[in-house]
Amino acid sequence: MTASLLVLVPVALLVIISGFCFVGCVFDSHGLGQSFTTYSDTDILANPSCVAYWPLSDSPGQSTALDVVGKALGNPHNGTYKSVLTDPALFPCPAFTLDPSGPVDSAFAPGTLTIGAPGIVQGDTLPPHDGKNPILTTAMLCNGGFVTVPANSVVNPGVFTVECWARPEWTAAAAPAFRTVVDSRNQGGGQFFGFVIFVNEAGNWEAQLGGTGSGNFLVVTAGTATLQAATHVVLTCDGTNAAVFIDGAPAASGSFATGAFAPNTVAPLVIGVGAPYLPSRTQPSDNNFFPLLPFNGTIQDVAIYKAVLSNTTISGHAANGKGNDAG
């Protein structure tokens, strides 16, 4: 057989096999999964109800946590990165008990913060620089360090959805404590205003919301937070009812017995720590002062919407964020 025939025979066979496949069968791609790489653009930025979005993918050394949605609308609600390097008087966060009935409410944290840490949202990528694999955008790695956003009503609507990705990175042997991802609360006159999302002392995802009327607040407790795992956490509130979603699935819900949700319009919104309603620490020896309830781990893509996102939308965000095509 000549060399030319050796080349032509495999080509001819390929044509014949291809013909049989496309004429006689349909290839079923169901179940193989389709990669998804435009989470930020498709799921967050394209949603008209989004009022603020902090990717926390800013360049190392940058002091501003950019609100991408606000910037696009001409009114950015930018945050400021804070750490032991920028504000040493605020740190360390003490291992401190706020409630005598509990074990440890606030864990010790040195106040560290890394901007440009490896991202945890698989579907949140930059265009490929090498023409092959997209590059995962970065995130904020914190242990006491945080972002603070000045108080304003735009990022604290009365009907809302708060969405974030977080990876708890403490160990199972760590002392029980509240570890906060997002906190926008104020208190006064015996009343709490606003909302908070954290991992509670029992190790469960939990949200608390302040309501109208003295002493009125709602607690919604979901399942156990998985350590070392990137988790999609969502809190929705229609003014009366609230729900927590974990990785796209409804996890817990609750309703105000009386009154309605009361937004925070006085204290800043903070990411990575809690208790923004407390006075700021002025020296490291202060205990019951802001910041407390520090998160230890990675946080990325915090977004706020002025609407209750549907269950389908939330599950789609979770799938796309994990790099799976929800469509």
Q: State the CATH number of the domain containing residue 171.
A: 2.60.120.200
> CB atoms < 10 A from the CB of 121, how many?
24
CA atoms of 15 and 37, how far apart (whole Å): 34
- pLDDT score of 123: 93
Whether 24 maps to a domain, the answer reads no
| Vertex 122 angle, CA 121 and 124, to 5° | 70
Domain of residue 200: give its range. Answer: 34-321
Torsion of CA 161, 164, 170, 172, to 10 degrees: 50
CA atoms of 303 and 68, how far apart (whole Å): 10
Whether 67 maps to a domain, the answer reads yes
CA atoms of 168 and 179, how far apart (whole Å): 9
Whether 105 maps to a domain, the answer reads yes
Report how many domains make up the chain: 1
Which helix (DSSP H) or strand (DSSP E) does residue 68 occupy?
helix 68-73
Give Cβ neighbours of residue 303 (< 8 Å, ≥ 6 apart).
Answer: 44, 50, 52, 53, 54, 69, 162, 163, 164
- pLDDT score of 296: 98
Q: Tell the residue number behind the tokens 């609100």, with chain if given.
A: 67
- The pTM (predicted TM-score) of the whole model is 0.88
CA atoms of 25 and 18, how far apart (whole Å): 10
pLDDT tens by residue, the chain, 327 residues: 444 333 333 444 333 333 333 333 332 323 334 578 889 989 999 999 999 999 999 999 999 999 999 998 888 999 999 999 999 999 999 999 988 777 789 999 999 999 999 999 999 987 765 556 677 899 999 999 999 999 999 999 999 999 999 999 999 999 999 999 999 999 988 789 999 999 999 999 999 999 998 888 999 999 999 999 999 999 999 999 999 999 999 999 999 999 999 999 999 999 999 999 999 999 988 999 999 999 999 999 999 999 999 999 999 999 999 998 776
Whether 309 maps to a domain, the answer reads yes
Whether 17 maps to a domain, the answer reads no
272, 145 Cβ separation under 8 angstroms:
yes
Would you list the DSSP string of 160-171? EEEEEEEEE-S-
CA atoms of 91 and 106, how far apart (whole Å): 13
- pLDDT score of 15: 37
Whether 14 maps to a domain, the answer reads no
* Number of residues in the chain: 327
